[in-house]
A and B are shown apart, each in its own frame.
Chain A
Amino acid sequence: MVESDEVRVVRCGGSRIHYRKALFSVDSRFLLCAAGNRVQVLSTQSLECQHILEGHSSLVSGLVLNPANHLQLYSCSVDGIIKLWDFTDGLLMKTFHTRYKLLALYASAAHPGVLFGKIPMNNEEASGLFQLVALRLPKSSRQEEDIAELSCVLMDVSPSPGATCFSSRGEYIASVKDLRLLVYFFSSQKAFSFSLKATGKKEVNNVFTCVDCHPKEDCIATGHMDGKIRLWRNFNQKKTYTYCTMHWHHSAVSDLAFTPEGTNLLSGGVESVLVQWRYDEPQKRDYLPRLGGTIELVAVSPDGSLLCTSHSDNKLTIIHSSLKVASVVQGLIRGGTVRAGLNFDPRSRALVMNGRPGHLQFYCLERDLQLYSLDIVQQEIIHECGLQQFEVAHVAFDAKGAWLATVEERTGKRSDVELCLKLWAYDESSQSFTLNTTVMTPHDDHVVALCFCPGSGTPMLVTAGSDGCFKAWVLGFDSDEEGPKPGWSCDFVGTYHGLGAATCCFSQDGSILAVAFEQIVTVWSPLSWELLATFCQPPGHIRELCFGRQSCARYLLGSTSANLLCCWDLLTCTLHWSAKLNVVVLKGDPWSEYVAAFAHAADVTDLFVFKPSEPRPTYVHREVCHGQVLHAIFTLRDSVEDTCPWLSKSCLYLLTENLELLLLCTRAEEERRAMSCTTLGAAPDEDVLATPFSMLLQRVGMVAQEECRTAHPQPPQSSVAVRELLQTPAHVLPAATFLCALFINSLLISRSHKDVSNMETEDSDGDREEEEEDDDTDVDMDPSEPQKVPTFTDGTLTLTKVQEKELRKVRKLDLSWLTGS
């Protein structure tokens, strides 16, 4: 038993980007979204990832812009850590520790220095009760801070971040839970509660789902489980409140958002239609249908020009305010079904798995990017809860990637299972798969396995069904004259004593086909379709079959439900060895002779890698993950890795019960991956700026600066205002009161240019108190920072406050000793 520390288990593949509402920066140039343990800063124009804010060690559960400085971002994670970032530079500024599980984060401009978060009551989540608390941020210059001061604002709130909303001016807070809307006024410290009846008439479900406050007026919009939207007004009294109801959604409203001016209200739900309601005329609606998965969250940019919807299929859609889709950020779709398992496309080297309903996604793991999505079912998706959709159940690629076979299944309520086998040919010209043959109902019952014959010659596909037969499909040229359009047809149907087939597998050269029927493994020759041999190792049904490769091609491996892993020798037709293992996934490496077996025991899964010729494993990895492994696949790697023999040509991906995609790789590789991540994270902002327009702006800015510099030392007489005043005839001059201010201004000697720019930045920073606080924090920054030469290339020309402070210090310093000596 060898257990080396060379091999690591690494989480890979896109994390959930639809978990929390995406956030627009104030100028709508950046989109901030929480993705697992990280925060991504995306450019809204190019969708390029500008920065990845890394630092949290658990799931990021809330994002909020610093109301005092809109270039800063607070993020919180479920382990109770709040971090303050400068997201334009991708820098971590401050870390606050709380000891509570934070589920949502809010901030309000009316409450400076205070953040609001949702935490479980008594800090235990099992109670199912949550409260909204105010977290007072300590004012100190240290990088790491503990937040001890904590005051409860509202008890018993919903843990969902969308269920609570601050009014735009921060005077009240609206929160919904179950059948109750709670409005809490900070000034009067009064809470008003409005309840709805549980059930009135038929199909009424008044449970609240989400809430949003109107930015200008005193109006609260709430979404409900039955698809209604209510607009509440006059809610600062208990008695005379009013509400009006708008109804379009047929199932629950997932999220609501007012546009910044409050003219429109946006709502989305499971129908995947973004509905835009006019605030004044709720009868008028605009729709944007067919956006993909369920709309879970809707975000609006502060200038109202862009919308962003988050979908359940791990997707962000950026939409123009004219309801036109601008762009889509698609992550690895992991929700829903994973029946097709993990597959490797040999041509594009992409991982192929279930994507959107009825689609296959081709995911490039190196770039962590979805290459494309192939529509298998080719039907209109009806977004409705509880509706049985067609699902892609099995996928197989042939050895060269020229053919793709898919099986889609749908189990209806009344009718039995509907099946469809589709064969797709790779089209060189369009660089994608095109449908070649459709076979309706290839089997009378579920298809359990399908595999292509790896040998050369006419392509052959074998499908095995639980109706007790396996069928061989071959590509034949139709005898029609109208063109050589090859289609697939059934060549052979084989059965074995009417037993249901469990799985099937071809040997490496395609000369032998093994089909498992319940407890028995049958071995067939695909050339003559003769039954060559049978193997049986009762008790227990066969789960998986796998042929040895290369030097071990004479062995056939099979795992049974009776916790047995058997290895048969095909030459002598005897059992070579067997091992007592509860193997759930058995996968052979197509590029080497090794076989990986995942054994599940006591809620953990162990990995055994072995050669079929030897009963001893070459590598054992205990506790690869918790829970079961659902699927695994070996993929070809680009460069040969020397450190680990069984990972030299390929790497092993696995999909766990929690739909996490894990990668087994060597340590060197892990380090390389980490490196590539950081380089990506440090991707410069210049990508966006290097447009012709930005270059023009830079040039103009520079010229303007030059002019400024030359203009300032000149005497005031040459000022335009003075010259005009002196040279224009008196009778055409405007009134003296008007000219006075101009004239006096022109006589003033302006300060140095830098100071002017400092003034500007100060003005934009808002109130004084905040600025000072910021100054404190900035002083502690690393000393290299202030030495940066301020660049004049930028049109707006900003100096950081650090530099400003430095300058002030320099000015105050007594430098007389220099000259005096």
Chain B
Amino acid sequence: MTAYKPTKIQSYPKLGEKVTQDTIYWKNYKTPIQIKEFAAVTKIDFSPVPPYNYAVTASSRIHIYGQYSQEPIKTFSRFKETAYSGSYRDDGKLLVAGSEDGLVRVFDLAGREALRKFSGHTKAVHVANFTSGKYHIFSGGDDYSAKYWDMSTASELISYDEHTDYVRCGSYDHTVRVFDARTDKSVLNMDHGQPVESVLLFPSGGLLVSAGFITDLCLRQAVVEEKPEDEVIAVGMTNGILNIRHRKQTEEKLLMENRKRRKPAYRYYVRGKNYRPKQDDLLVSKPVKMHLKKYDRQLKSFEVTKALDTVLEPHIRIKTPEVTVAVLQELNRRGTLMNALAGRDEKNFSILLNFLIRHIVDPRFARILITVADMVLDIYGSILGQSAVIDKQFVRLQELIEKELDYQQELVEVLGMMDTLFATMTAKKEALAPQSRSNGPTEGQQHTEVMPDQEAMS
């Protein structure tokens, strides 16, 4: 009459951090690759054109890395002192870098030697970049000045000297100034309140972000035709470690999609479905068949030992121990747990014991597993000493339980201490009522600690 009711699997609340959009996003990256550089990484810049190599400035070298290579493809090492701010031009063909000696160098990606050297800064140049016009470069140095260079003539066009501290993108004098290349004055002055380490202009040009002390961080907008995605994140750190995270490859997904079973052809798919019964047709409805899990099918036909064997298979007992525990509980409710546990050979029994050892102290499962352990001892107590493997497991189980008991003892002691503390704190307030409120929350805590048993059901 009524259908078989499948075994109820308790769903336990997930512990740990919640799943948010952020965690999902970061889950999409592979484990990071770490590359050791000689010194602190001061700048990472991605080439704006494929294959999206990136230039890492560290010490007196600029390394060019390919997207997946862990070895540099190319190295610019013609710096006498520390190099700074290796940056690509829009077309990815030229690279500009400042250096400790005050020179600004422009390299061709194909060659090794610098194409141009701009001298004019008296101190180290920490920032150098191309303007969007392709033929001009601006740079800022520790001599409090920012300069605007023309590449073709290799000459200095304008020098801005309004800053009163080192110019590092913004300036250490806490200000961000916006210069117009046509005039020699700043058109806008913004006070950051802290030394400005980095400035990023939004592509739309309306906004700009300024940052305090952080070492470089750089995101590459890989322009894949359909979906723009952040494929690689490279992080340079002051201890010289370059950390690269790749996004999990879409190739795998593509492969999966290819492998996915093709849907049946339309005409087979709709066969018989679009037939409308006529008015005086006798409609014979087929009963909906309920799908049951394997262990449920076995429980339905009262094959208790087989059902227990099923849930002790590796993929269930390891991935979803709650299923195993739920079936154990169901067997206990049916009063046939003893029958299911008995009569196992060494291999089978050691699997069961392993499961017990692994989960008996888990507060979610402890209640039923203690009963199971009790029964196991009752059934198999007499054969102790016949198998070394089993004996060893029994000893482990014993040790585990002893440890757990000590642990619980300690917890109770701590709870007692806390109770005393709370009692002294609230003694005055609760003069009228001898029993303080304080024991409420603490007990509640203990309750949740020992038994995280609430669950929201759908």
Contacts and interface: CB of A to CB of B under 8 A. Distances in A.
A325 interface: yes
B1 A530 contact: no
A384 B335 CA distance: 10
Given A291-B1, A387-B334, A492 B440 contact: yes
Contact of B437 (A328, A412, A530): A530
B453 A379 contact: no
Q: Which of the listed residues A288, A380, A384, A494 has the most CB atoms from chain B within 10 Å of its own CB?
A: A380
Contacts of A325: 1
Contacts of A481: 20
Nearest to A250: B302
Given A290-B2, A378-B8, A496-B435, A438 B455 contact: yes
Contacts of B93: none
B440 A493 contact: yes
Interface string A451-488: 00000000000000000010000000010110001011
A440 B364 CA distance: 10
Contacts of A489: 454
B433 interface: yes
A317 interface: yes
A481 B19 CA distance: 10
Q: Which of the listed residues B299, B300, B435, B441 has the most CB atoms from chain A within 10 Å of its own CB?
A: B435
Contacts of A487: 454, 456-457
A439 B444 CA distance: 14
Interface residues of B, number: 40
B112 interface: no
Contact of B454 (A288, A413, A439): A439
A292 B1 contact: yes
A492 B440 CA distance: 6
B332 interface: yes
Interface string A144-188: 000000000000000000000000000000000000000000000
B443 interface: yes
A727 to B, nearest CB: 41
A104 to B, nearest CB: 29
A531 B431 CA distance: 11
Contacts of B303: none
Contact of B440 (A378, A413, A488, A529): A529
A492 B444 contact: yes
The 5 A-B residue pairs with the shortest CB-CB distance in the complex, in nearest-first order: A487-B456, A531-B433, A440-B453, A380-B5, A493-B444
8 contacts: A291-B1, A388-B335, A440-B10, A440-B453, A441-B367, A493-B441, A495-B443, A529-B437
Given A493-B447, A531-B435, A438 B2 contact: no
Nearest to A375: B5
B375 interface: yes
A528 to B, nearest CB: 8
Given A290-B1, A490-B444, A495-B440, 5 more contacts: A328-B1, A412-B371, A415-B371, A490-B448, A495-B435
A379 B300 CA distance: 12
B444 A497 contact: no
A415 B368 CA distance: 8
Nearest to B453: A440
Interface string A610-627: 000000000000000000
Contacts of A384: 334-335
A450 B374 CA distance: 33
Interface residues of A, number: 45
B419 to A, nearest CB: 12
A639 B257 CA distance: 68
Interface string B349-384: 000000000000000000110010011000000000
Interface string B1-40: 1111111101000000010100000000000000000000
B439 interface: yes
Interface of B: 1-8, 10, 18, 20, 299-300, 330, 332-335, 367-368, 371, 374-375, 433, 435, 437, 439-441, 443-444, 447-448, 451, 453-458
Contact of A410 (B333, B367, B444): B333
A378 B457 CA distance: 13
A457 to B, nearest CB: 20
Contacts of A488: 454
A378 B443 contact: no
A490 B297 CA distance: 37
A328 B1 CA distance: 10
A317 B455 CA distance: 38
Contact of B1 (A317, A485, A531): A317
Contacts of A492: 440, 444
Contacts of B454: 437, 439, 487-490
Contact of A379 (B8, B447, B451): B8
A341 to B, nearest CB: 24
A436 B457 contact: yes
A382 interface: yes
A414 interface: yes
Interface string A376-411: 001110101001101000000000000000000010
Contacts of A478: 456
Nearest to A532: B433
A495 B435 CA distance: 8
A495 B332 contact: no
Contacts of A779: none
A461 to B, nearest CB: 13
Contacts of B7: 379-380
Contacts of A493: 440-441, 443-444, 447
B433 A530 contact: yes
Interface string A277-321: 000000000001011100000000000000000000000010000
Contacts of B334: 382, 384, 387
A356 to B, nearest CB: 10
A435 interface: yes
B367 A290 contact: no
B443 A469 contact: yes
B178 to A, nearest CB: 40
A603 B97 CA distance: 105
Contacts of B332: 412, 415
B185 to A, nearest CB: 50
Contacts of B8: 378-379
A291 B441 CA distance: 48
Contacts of B368: 415
A387 B331 CA distance: 12
A387 B334 CA distance: 7
A290 B334 CA distance: 16
B209 to A, nearest CB: 27
A378 B453 contact: no
Nearest to B454: A439
A441 B4 contact: no
B377 to A, nearest CB: 12
B440 A494 contact: yes
Contact of B447 (A328, A490, A497): A490
Contacts of B451: 440-441
Contacts of A437: 454-457
A378 B435 contact: no
A413 B333 CA distance: 10
Given A469-B443, A492-B440, A529-B440, A414 B374 contact: yes
A490 to B, nearest CB: 6
Contacts of B371: 412, 414-415
Nearest to A424: B457
Contacts of A290: 1-4
